[in-house]
Amino acid sequence: MENTIRIFDAKKKMVETVPKIQKTDAEWQKLLTKKQYEITTKNGTESPGSRTFDDVHVPGIFKCVRCESDLFYGSAKFESGTGWPSFYQPVSPSNVVLQPDHGFGMTRTEVLCARCGSHLGHVFDDGPHPPASGIV
């Protein structure tokens, strides 16, 4: 199938083939709050420490705000000291896309939702190392 993607469903504990979600900027603007649109569609960022789930440290799954795909287990969340939620691994490598970001005069690795292309943030190599097993 042409516009599909294989991602891991954490609740079912299995890889599924699902439709890839592609919308125009205007469609995303209608579906998201102004802040959600700015961050996920225009690669914006919020002020450090301003997100309510930054202090959430309970078991569960963090999902994409645009398409509800499973992204990170709560158990993979760590305190980075940056004021932004930080995770040391995704639910599955198939659920995210890593790509070079050369903005702001530096090279970083941007993280996107594999299903809808939502900007999730950037990878930095100064966090804790993931456990030897557990990633699907």
Kindly report, residue by residue over 86-126, the tens digit of the pLDDT.
Answer: 888 899 999 999 999 998 888 889 999 999 999 998 887 76
- Which strands make up the sheet holding 119-123, listed edge to edge? 96-101, 108-113, 119-123
pTM above 0.75, yes or no: yes
pLDDT digits (tens, 9 = 90+) for 3-60: 999 999 999 999 999 999 999 999 999 999 999 999 999 988 777 666 666 666 677 8
Q: Where are the domains positioned within the chain?
A: 4-123
> Residue 102's Cα: distance from chain center in Å?
19
**CATH number attached to the domain at 4-123:** 2.170.150.20
* Alpha-carbon span 119 to 38, nearest angstrom: 10
Backbone angles phi, psi at 53, to 5 degrees: -85, 5
